[in-house]
C-alpha cells in the first residue's frame, strides 16, 4: 500500500470542484468539501474524500439532489423537524445544526430531527459547530442496516454513530464520537484487504454464529452491536443503536431499521419505504444555561487532566481523552498534508477525468 | 437461597414507614418508596428495597438530609441547575424531571442538571415520567468510581447509567436503561456469592490484567467499560461513561470522576471534593415538537413489531425490545407479589426493629 500526501488546500479545491460539477451551489460545495476535509484532517480517512466517489454515484442515480430546498417543516421554540429534500447530508446536517444553535441562543437549548437526507460524514463535525458557541453539541445519524440486534440473525440497524462534544478551557473539546456497533464497517474492510482475522464479537456469519472471518459480512452475515454478545453487554449496544434510529428517523419521518436506504449506489433502496431518506438528530445546549461557562470549562479542564494522568496499565500507553487523537491529527495534517492510499487517488483521478476536473 | 414473596402493598407500606422514621415528609416518603418499589416490580432487584438499608446508613452518617430544600438555582427557558441539598436521590430526581417536563410543555424541551444529590434508584423510573406526557424521557447519573477507563489501572468512573424512554402507541414504552460498564456491579456480586467465574471483559485485577475472578474488584481491581478492551470497543464504553459524568456533574457542580462519594456508608467521601454530592442529568422532549404524536407512535409501533419479529439465531430466543422484559415483570409481580431473598428480608427486619417499624 503506497500513500501519496497532498496539502489540505489542494484536496479542498479538488473536492469543491467535484461538488460544483454535480451542480451544487458554490456555498454548498464549499461546505460539503469542508466536512469531508475535516474528516481527513482528523485522521478519519474512511469518511473523508475517499467517499467522494460514492456521493457522486448516488447523485448519478438521482438519489442525491444537488440543489435541495432544505427547510424546517415543523417547529416549537426549541424543536424542529427538517426536510433535507434529498440533499447531501454534508449540507443538510450543518443546516440543521445551525437551527439547533440559533434556538439555543434564545431558549438555552435547540433540538432538530432530520428526514430525507443522505450520509452526513463524521458526526463530530456537526457536534463541534456547537462548541464554538460555548454549547454542548450532540449529533447522530442512522445508516443502512448492517448490524443484527442481540439474538437476531437479520441486519436491522446501521452502525448508527452518536457524538457528544463538550467545550473545554485550556484544552480542545472533549469529543465522544462512536459507532454503536462493536466495530465500524471500515475496520472490517481493512481486515478484508489484509486477509487477517477480526476479533470475536465484531461479526456473525449468515447462520448467526460468531465469526472471525472478515468476509462473512459480504456472505450474508451481520456486524454485531457494541458488546458483541449478551454476556458482554451487546443488548446495550443494540439499545444505543435503537436510540439513534428512533431519534433520527421515527421522530423525523425518515426511514428506520431495515428500510434505511444503502449508501452504495449499486444497491437499490427498499421498494416499500416507511419514510423519506435517512435521518439525523442534533442538539445544542448552552453551557451557561446550567452554570457559568468559565466554571464549566475550569472543571472540564480538571476532568481532562485527571483522566489523562490516570495510572496506566502500561506506562507506554497513557489514557486517552476522547477526541484528543483527532486534534493531534488535525495539527499534524494541517502542517504536513493529508496522506491518501494510491487506490483512493486513482479513483479520484478517474472521477476527475469523467467530470472534467483537473486531476490530483 | 430462599425467596419470600410479598404483595406490593405490604412492601410499599413498610418502605414508606422506614422513610418516615428517617424524618422524611409524608409525600417524600411515598415518592421514595414508589421509586424503590417500581424497581422491584420491574425485576431490577438490585435497586429496590434491597437498598433501603444502604439509604438509612447514609442518613445515619448525616450524608442524606431527610428534609432537604430541593431547588432550582440557575435557569433559562429550557435549562435548569438543581441543588438537591443532600436529599435522597429518590426524591431529588423526580423533582428535577418534573422541572424538565414543565419546561417542555411550554418550550418543547426541558433539560436539568443536578448537584448535591444521592443515589436515585433506577434511571428508568425518572425517564418514564416523561412518556406519560407523550414526551421522550432521558435520565442519567454518575456514581462512585469502580470503572477504569481504557488503558487505565485506576477507578475513575462509576457504572454511570443512561436511560432513554420513548412512548409507543399499542405497546409499552421502549426503554433503553443501561450501565455504561460491561456489567453492573450487582452481576459481579451474584458471581461472588455463587463462587463462579465472570466472563472475560468485565473486570481487571489490581495490576490491570483481565480477570475472570469476581473477587478481584474487592482486591483492588476495576470494572471495565462496555466493550471490555480496546479491540472490542471499550473506548466507546469509556466515552459514554465520560459523557454521563460530564452532563451530570461537570455541568451541575457535583463531584465527578474519582471524587464521587461512595454509596456505601462505611467508606468516607473524598476529603477534597470538587463539587457537591453526586450528579444527575434529565431531559424531556415533546414528541409533537417534531411530528404529530400519533404519527410517531404509529411508526414506533411498527419499529417494535419489526424488531420483535426479526429472524432469531435460535428460534427459542426471540429478539427482545428494550424495556419489554421489565414490563412483563411489572404485570406479573403486581399480580403475584415481589420475591425477596431471605437475606434481604432479614436485613429489612433488623432495620425495622432498630427503627420501631412493624416487621415484614
- Which three cell numbers, joined as nine digits, stand for B201? 471483559
- Does residue A187 register a pLDDT over 90? no
pLDDT at B104: 98
d(CA B220, CA B216): 7
Q: Where in chain A is the domain with CATH 1.10.1530.10?
A: 1-67+309-360
Interface test with A, best of B226, B290, B311 (most A CBs within 10 A): B290
Closest to B151 (Cβ–Cβ): which among A156, A239, A318?
Answer: A318
- Please give the residue that has the higher pLDDT: either B186 or A28: A28
Buried b (16+ CB within 10 A) or exposed e, B173-194: bbbbbbbbbbbbbebbeebeee
Identify the H or E element spanning A141. strand A135-141
Q: Where in chain A is the domain with CATH 3.30.1370.60?
A: 68-182+232-308
Nearest CA in chain B to A183: B233
A positions 86-145 inside 8 Å of B (CB): 106-109, 111, 113, 136
Mean pLDDT of chain A: 97
Q: Where in chain B is the domain with CATH 3.30.1370.60?
A: 68-179+230-297
pLDDT at B292: 98
A positions 11-70 inside 8 Å of B (CB): none
Q: Where in chain B is the domain with CATH 3.30.60.50?
A: 183-223
pLDDT at B334: 98
- Which three cell numbers, joined as nine digits, stand for A222? 451481520
CATH of A184-223, one of 3.40.50.800, 3.30.60.50, 3.40.1160.10, 3.30.830.10: 3.30.60.50
- Does residue B136 register a pLDDT over 80? yes
Model confidence band, residue B190 (pLDDT cutoffs 50, 70, 90): confident
Which top CATH class is B1-66+309-360?
mainly alpha
pLDDT at A192: 86
pLDDT at A185: 83
Residues of B in contact with A316 (CB under 8 A): none
Cβ distance A152 to B178 less than 8 Å, yes or no, reads no
Interface test with A, best of B137, B232, B257, B297 (most A CBs within 10 A): B232
Residues of B in contact with A245 (CB under 8 A): 303
d(CA A189, CA A146): 13
Model confidence band, residue A191 (pLDDT cutoffs 50, 70, 90): confident
To the nearest whole Å, the CA of B313 is away from the closest chain A CA by 5
d(CA A97, CA A283): 7
Per DSSP, the residues of A102-118 read: HHHHHHSEEEEEEEEE-
To the nearest whole Å, the CA of A2 is away from the closest chain B CA by 26
Residues ≥6 apart with Cβ < 8 Å to A222? A146, A147, A148, A152, A153, A154, A155, A203, A204, A208
DSSP SS3 for A81: strand
- Quote the ipTM score: 0.98
Residues of B in contact with A258 (CB under 8 A): 306
Interface test with B, best of A109, A113, A139 (most B CBs within 10 A): A109
Quote the DSSP letter at residue A258. G
pLDDT at B196: 93
Per DSSP, the residues of B178-215 read: E-SBSS-HHHHHHHHHHT-PPPTTSEE-TTS-EE--GG
Residues of B in contact with A310 (CB under 8 A): 148-149, 152-154, 156
Q: What is the arithmetic mean of pLDDT over B151-155?
A: 97
B50-101 tens-digit pLDDT: 999 999 999 999 999 999 999 999 999 999 999 999 999 999 999 999 999 9
Closest to A313 (Cβ–Cβ): which among B151, B246, B247?
Answer: B151
pLDDT at B185: 83
Closest to B149 (Cβ–Cβ): which among A151, A291, A307?
Answer: A307
Q: Is A310 left (phi over 0), alpha (psi -120 to 50) or beta?
A: beta
Q: Which of B101, B119, B146, B138 is nearest to B39 (CA)?
A: B119
pLDDT at A43: 96
Closest to B286 (Cβ–Cβ): which among A79, A201, A302?
Answer: A79
Cβ distance B77 to A78 less than 8 Å, yes or no, reads yes
Model confidence band, residue A284 (pLDDT cutoffs 50, 70, 90): very high
Q: Which of B36, B260, B42 is nearest to B172 (CA)?
A: B42
Are A117 and A93 within 8 A, CB to CB?
A: yes
Cβ distance B156 to A310 less than 8 Å, yes or no, reads yes
Q: Where in chain A is the domain with CATH 3.30.60.50?
A: 184-223
Model confidence band, residue A339 (pLDDT cutoffs 50, 70, 90): very high
pLDDT at B184: 86
- Does residue A353 register a pLDDT over 90? yes
pLDDT at B36: 98
- Does residue A52 register a pLDDT over 80? yes
B306-353 tens-digit pLDDT: 999 999 999 999 999 999 999 999 999 999 999 999 999 999 999 999
Nearest CA in chain A to B237: A226
Q: What is the arithmetic mean of pLDDT over A101-107?
A: 98
Buried b (16+ CB within 10 A) or exposed e, B111-144: bbbbbbbbbbbbbbbbbbbbbeeebbbbbbbbbb
Cβ distance B109 to A242 less than 8 Å, yes or no, reads no
- Does residue A190 register a pLDDT over 90? no
Q: Which of B261, B244, B279 is nearest to B81 (CA)?
A: B279
- Does residue A233 register a pLDDT over 80? yes
CATH of A1-67+309-360, one of 1.10.1530.10, 3.40.50.300, 3.20.20.70, 3.30.450.20: 1.10.1530.10
To the nearest whole Å, the CA of B354 is away from the closest chain A CA by 40
pLDDT at B191: 87
Mean pLDDT of chain B: 97
**Nearest 5 degrees, angle CA B86-CA B90-CA B95?**
80
pLDDT at A186: 80
Which top CATH class is B68-179+230-297?
alpha beta
pLDDT at B289: 98
d(CA B242, CA B248): 10
Cβ distance B313 to A176 less than 8 Å, yes or no, reads no
Percentage of chain B beyond pLDDT 70 is 100
Model confidence band, residue B131 (pLDDT cutoffs 50, 70, 90): very high
Q: Which of A37, A305, A48 is nearest to A174 (CA)?
A: A305
- Which three cell numbers, joined as nine digits, stand for A216? 462473512
Which top CATH class is A68-182+232-308?
alpha beta
Closest to A107 (Cβ–Cβ): which among B78, B183, B310?
Answer: B78
A120-171 tens-digit pLDDT: 999 999 999 999 999 999 999 999 999 999 999 999 999 999 999 999 999 9
> Considering the domain B183-223 in this protein, what is its CATH number?
3.30.60.50
Amino acid at each position: 500500500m503506497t500513500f501519496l500526501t497532498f496539502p489540505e488546500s489542494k484536496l479542498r479545491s479538488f473536492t469543491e470542484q467535484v461538488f460544483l460539477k454535480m451542480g451544487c451551489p458554490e456555498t454548498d460545495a464549499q461546505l460539503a468539501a469542508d466536512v469531508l476535509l475535516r474528516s481527513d484532517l482528523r485522521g478519519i480517512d474512511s469518511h473523508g474524500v475517499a467517499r467522494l466517489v460514492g456521493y457522486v454515484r448516488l447523485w448519478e442515480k438521482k438519489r442525491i439532489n444537488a440543489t435541495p430546498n432544505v427547510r424546517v417543516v415543523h417547529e416549537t421554540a426549541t424543536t424542529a423537524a427538517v426536510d433535507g429534500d434529498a440533499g447531501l447530508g454534508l449540507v443538510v446536517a450543518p443546516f440543521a445544526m445551525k437551527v439547533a444553535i440559533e434556538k439555543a441562543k434564545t431558549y438555552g437549548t435547540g433540538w432538530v430531527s432530520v428526514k430525507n437526507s443522505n450520509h452526513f460524514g463524521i458526526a463530530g463535525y456537526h457536534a463541534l459547530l456547537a462548541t464554538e458557541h460555548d454549547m454542548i453539541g450532540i449529533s447522530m445519524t442512522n445508516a443502512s442496516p448492517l448490524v443484527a440486534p442481540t439474538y437476531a440473525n437479520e441486519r436491522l440497524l446501521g452502525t448508527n454513530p452518536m457524538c457528544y462534544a463538550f467545550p473545554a478551557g485550556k484544552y480542545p473539546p472533549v469529543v465522544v464520537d462512536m459507532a454503536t456497533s462493536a466495530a465500524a464497517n471500515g475496520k472490517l474492510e481493512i481486515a478484508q484487504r489484509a486477509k487477517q482475522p477480526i476479533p470475536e464479537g465484531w461479526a456473525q456469519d449468515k447462520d448467526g454464529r460468531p465469526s472471525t472471518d472478515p468476509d462473512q459480512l459480504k456472505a450474508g452475515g451481520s456486524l454485531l452491536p457494541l458488546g458483541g454478545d449478551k454476556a458482554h453487554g451487546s443488548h446495550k449496544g443494540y439499545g444505543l443503536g435503537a436510540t439513534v434510529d428512533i431519534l433520527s428517523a421515527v421522530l423525523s419521518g425518515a426511514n428506520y431499521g431495515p428500510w434505511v436506504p444503502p449508501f452504495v449506489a449499486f444497491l437499490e433502496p427498499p421498494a416499500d419505504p416507511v419514510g423519506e431518506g435517512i435521518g439525523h438528530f442534533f442538539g445544542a445546549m448552552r453551557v451557561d444555561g446550567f452554570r457559568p461557562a468559565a466554571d464549566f470549562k475550569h472543571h472540564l479542564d480538571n476532568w481532562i487532566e485527571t483522566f489523562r494522568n490516570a495510572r496506566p496499565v502500561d506506562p507506554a500507553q497513557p489514557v486517552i481523552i476522547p477526541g484528543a487523537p483527532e486534534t493531534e491529527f488535525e495539527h499534524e495534517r494541517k502542517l504536513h498534508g493529508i496522506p491518501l492510499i494510491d487506490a483512493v487517488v486513482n479513483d479520484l483521478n478517474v472521477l476527475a477525468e469523467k467530470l472534467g476536473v483537473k486531476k490530483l
